[in-house]
Amino acid sequence: MTFLQAPLGVRSYVSSLIAFISLIAFSLIVCSISLLLSKDNAVLPPQAEVPPISSVPPTVELDRSRGGDDGSCDVSSGRWVYDNSTRPLYSGLGCSFMHDEVACEKYGRSDLRYQHWRWQPHGCDLPRFDAKRLLEKLRGKRMVYVGDSLNRNQWVSMVCMVESFVPPGLKTQTYHGSLMSFKVEEYNATIDFYWSPLLVESNCDDPVIHRVSDRIMRANAIEKHAKHWADADILVFNSYLWWKKPNMKMKVLHGSFEENSTNLEVVEMDYGFKLAMRAWSRWLESHISTDKIQIFFVSLSPTHVWGEDWGKPNCYGETEPIHKEGYFGQGSDYGMMRTAESIIDGLRYRGINVQILNITQLSEYRKDGHPSIYRKQWIPLTEEQLANPSSYADCTHWCLPGVPDVWNEILYSYIVSR
């Protein structure tokens, strides 16, 4: 069992400039790869889309006393309520498995209002989070979060939500390459995170060194990753941010990285996303044969990298949520979410149920919820940056305790309702 430092996290793409400098060495490798690029720019033949079918209502366990006549309740629609008596759900400074990239209080954030907001759906109440009840559900089971640093953000949140209920010595966290594992001995319950930002195999798969300037994916290769989570009882996927790099195309590799294939095809990022989602859905279709396995897909996590809407450069210095109902900003690509939804509808049509955790709208309101400059800065900051803090603010990830705790409360409501 190894206890290691938290690996370098992915930084938001705002701060990618900083990282860029440090990775010139890495770019040299990338450059040599690009020299080998083929000129074949033809796009892959489109696949027939499965006609979308209407969504089934979510089976969330809720206090429905205030719900609609049919007992349904859309937990994604609601408002943030300031509640300093029941929030936060745990102490950020007290969580022994906190990650420095989201430990805002530890890194100097002094306005703590961001920790005190509770999500209140319009038509019902979310069930109160009870770690013991969740652990009972997870007894002898394995839950795995699979995806990028936002998914890891959510995993750290879940670990903190659970760990404060477990005495020291009865819980462990171990890191093995792309896999981070949290285990509660008494329950033989495992809550893991597996790094795989594009879901399929890519040149971004190294859990530490993945800030490549040229992204290369293998359109149909997911097996190498899937073998790390194929035995899970609960799977929580995400993938979004890595397809959103402005002015960047995706390179699709035909052949394998190991055989040094140079057969590359350049596609638009959102087409790459579609290819990856299809590979993912094909894997689920051919490997998931029982509805005992619960599968979730987390909708996109919005960034607050552009602050025109509140008259600032970005999220830096924001201490209050946006209260305008229905607000959505420039950090969200709803087209991509529709791609994910149509693929998930297609799966449902073929008997595989993937529940979307619809966290986009509720997170849109929380321009105050990001680490901004209050996180471990992995690379020493320059004078220029220090003079202009908004230039290195992380407006992509989320402070903990904070917004991802609510994502997990919604996840919890689905898990305990089974």
Ligand X SMILES: *[C@@H]1O[C@H](CO)[C@@H](O)[C@H](O)[C@H]1NC(C)=O
Q: What is the dihedral of CA 93, 94, 95, 100, to 10 degrees?
A: 20
Buried b (16+ CB within 10 A) or exposed e, 212-244: bebbbbbbbbbeebbebbeebbbbbbbbbbbbb
Q: By C-beta, is 300 or 400 nearer to ligand X?
A: 300
Q: Which residue in the set 70, 259, 383, 384 belongs to the binding site for ligand X (CB under 6 A)?
A: 259
Q: By C-beta, is 64 or 245 nearer to ligand X?
A: 64
- Give me the numbers of helices (H) and strands (E) for the chain, helices first please: 10, 12
Q: By C-beta, is 153 or 190 nearer to ligand X?
A: 190
Decide if residue 15 touches ligand X (CB under 6 A). Answer: no
Residue 76 CB, nearest approach to ligand X (Å): 3
Catalytic residue among 148, 370, 397, 413: 397
Decide if residue 323 touches ligand X (CB under 6 A). Answer: no
Element (H, E) at 292: none
Query: Of 334-373, which residues contact ligand X (CB under 6 A)?
Result: 341, 356, 358, 361
Count of residues interacting with ligand X (CB under 6 A) = 15
Q: Do 414 and 296 meet the contact criterion of CB atoms below 8 Å apart? A: yes
Decide if residue 10 touches ligand X (CB under 6 A). Answer: no
Decide if residue 332 touches ligand X (CB under 6 A). Answer: no
| Binding piece for ligand X, criterion CB under 6 A, among 41-49, 138-146, 244-252, 266-274 | 138-146
Residue 187 CB, nearest approach to ligand X (Å): 9
Q: Residue 285: phi, psi to the nearest 5?
A: -60, -40
Decide if residue 110 touches ligand X (CB under 6 A). Answer: no
SS3 of 294, please?
Answer: strand
CA–CA gap between residue 190 and residue 144 (Å, rounded): 8
| Amino acid letter, residue 112 | L
Residue 227 CB, nearest approach to ligand X (Å): 15
Structure token pair of residue 311: 């008259």
Decide if residue 228 touches ligand X (CB under 6 A). Answer: no
CA–CA gap between residue 248 and residue 214 (Å, rounded): 8
Q: Look-up: residue for tokens 């009865």?
A: 170
* Binding-site string for ligand X from residue 65 to residue 104, where x marks contact by CB under 6 A and - marks none: ---------x-xx------x--------------------
Decide if residue 157 touches ligand X (CB under 6 A). Answer: no
Q: By C-beta, is 126 or 356 nearer to ligand X?
A: 356
CA–CA gap between residue 280 and residue 7 (Å, rounded): 26
Q: By C-beta, is 66 or 386 nearer to ligand X?
A: 66
Catalytic residue among 12, 15, 76, 149: 149
CA–CA gap between residue 251 and residue 248 (Å, rounded): 10
Q: Do 415 and 65 meet the contact criterion of CB atoms below 8 Å apart? A: no
Q: Which residue in the set 45, 51, 140, 246 belongs to the binding site for ligand X (CB under 6 A)?
A: 140
Residue partners of 108: CB distance under 8 A and separation at least 6: 374
Residue 220 CB, nearest approach to ligand X (Å): 19
Query: Of 378-417, which residues contact ligand X (CB under 6 A)?
Result: none
Q: Is 394 a catalytic residue?
A: yes
Bridge partners for 298 per DSSP: 357
Give the β-pairing of 354-357 and 294-298: parallel
| Closest to 201 in 3D by CA, of 248, 252, 138 | 252
Residue 74 CB, nearest approach to ligand X (Å): 6
Decide if residue 173 touches ligand X (CB under 6 A). Answer: no
Q: Rule CB under 6 A: which residues touch ligand X?
A: 74, 76-77, 84, 140-142, 188, 190, 259-260, 341, 356, 358, 361
Q: Which residues have a catalytic role annotated?
A: 149, 394, 397
